[in-house]
Structure formats: C-alpha cells, structure tokens
C-alpha cells in the first residue's frame, strides 16, 4: 500500500509517520510539497523516501500532481501541515482516502488562512479552556470534512502560541500515526 504525505513545512509529523511505519514494509510512503525549500523534503530523503515538488498549475490546472499519484499507485493521502485547498479532481479520485491534520478542535478555529500559529492565537484570544487536534476527511472546502479523531489538551492562563504549539505537536506526534494505521487497516479489510 502506498501513502502520499503532502507537507509544506518542517515535516515533523511526516517524519513521525515514516518512522512509525518503518518496520511495516507493506506500507510505502512518498512525500510531495508545494515548497521547494521545505525542510520536510530533505528529512524525507534522508529516510530513503522519494519526494516531489509542484507548483499551483501542477496542482490545480494541468493534473500533474494527480498523474504522480496515479503513477506511484497511491492508495491513501495524508495532509500533514499542507496549506493549499485540495482540488475537486483529486478529492473525487480518493473518496474518503484523504485526511488532514488540524491543530485545533474543529469545527472551531478552522477555515481558510487558519494555520500554524494563527490558529493558536485565535484559540488564546477566544479564551478557550482547551484546544487539541482534529484528524478529518478532506472535502472541497477547508477543514469541513467529517471528523475522524480528536484529542484535547488544556489551555492555561500563561500559554502563548508557542507553548500551545508544543502541546499540540506532542498530541499530533502521538496520535496521527496510530489513527492512520487504523484507517489503513480498515481500508485493507473492506
């Protein structure tokens, strides 16, 4: 089974996933990024993973990204710190086979432009007592697909976007690989 991870940034979640599945050779990974200089690319390459970069046209217009996914026989897609809206032709090609990781408790604090520290700032400003992570299916709208899994953490008085980001990352690293494995097993057994 081949899983494509889309990431635009540091890729700590991508690395956690790849490491988690290292001893399970039935799962192969590839990494795609819209940013040529994203640290995730080098990290993945160092782990022996094939990587691709692509531009807006490749994603939205000329179907190049979908062509890569088809050519690599990708079965499942994980968005881990990937910020672009997935186009309809890709969503349709992978029905309930694309998941996204969001660093807050959806349906609150999601939507276009809500990523990274912006999310944590919004959570702190709203004086939320808790935040957390959401893993959800991807549809054609930002952060609106059905929710698969959530885990919570406390937001304390002194929390800053940075301190909250650290707590959220810890939750992501703990849960995302396991939730992914469960979904892959369910898919396999269908």
Q: Does 132 bind ligand GRF (CB under 6 A)?
A: no
The greatest distance separating any two alpha carbons of the chain, rounded to the nearest whole angstrom, comes to 50
**Helix 39-46 vs helix 12-20: crossing angle, to nearest 10:** 20
Q: Does 44 bind ligand GRF (CB under 6 A)?
A: no
Q: Is residue 101 within the footprint of ligand GRF (CB under 6 A)?
A: yes
Which residue, judged by CB position, is nearest to ligand GRF in the bound state?
81
The reply on whether position 10 binds ligand GRF by CB under 6 A is yes
Contacts of residue 7, defined as CB under 8 A and 6 or more positions apart, other chains included, come to 13, 14, 31, 32, 33, 38, 40, 79, 80, 81, 82
Question: Residue 102 catalytic?
Answer: yes
Give the footprint of ligand GRF on residues 149-168 (CB under 6 A): 168
DSSP, collapsed to helix, strand or coil, labels residue 70 as helix
Catalytic residues: 102
- Give the residues lining the site for ligand GRF (CB under 6 A): 7, 9-13, 80-81, 101-103, 115-116, 168-169, 172
């Amino acid at each position: 089974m081949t899983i494509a991870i889309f990431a635009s940034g540091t890729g700590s979640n991508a690395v956690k996933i790849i490491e988690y599945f290292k001893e399970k050779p039935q799962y192969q990974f590839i990494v795609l990024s819209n940013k040529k200089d994203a640290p995730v690319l080098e990290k993945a390459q160092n782990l022996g993973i094939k990587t691709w970069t692509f531009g807006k046209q490749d994603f939205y217009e000329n179907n190049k990204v979908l062509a890569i996914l088809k050519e690599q026989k990708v079965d499942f897609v994980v968005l881990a710190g990937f910020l672009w809206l997935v186009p309809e032709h890709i969503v349709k090609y992978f029905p309930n086979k694309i998941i996204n990781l969001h660093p807050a408790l959806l349906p609150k604090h999601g939507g276009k432009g809500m990523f990274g520290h912006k999310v944590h700032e919004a959570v702190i400003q709203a004086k939320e007592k808790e935040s957390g992570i959401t893993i959800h299916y991807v549809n054609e709208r930002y952060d609106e697909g059905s929710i698969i899994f959530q885990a919570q953490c406390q937001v304390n008085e002194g929390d800053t976007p940075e301190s909250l980001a650290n707590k959220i990352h810890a939750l992501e690293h703990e849960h995302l690989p396991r939730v992914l494995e469960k979904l892959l097993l369910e898919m396999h057994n269908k």
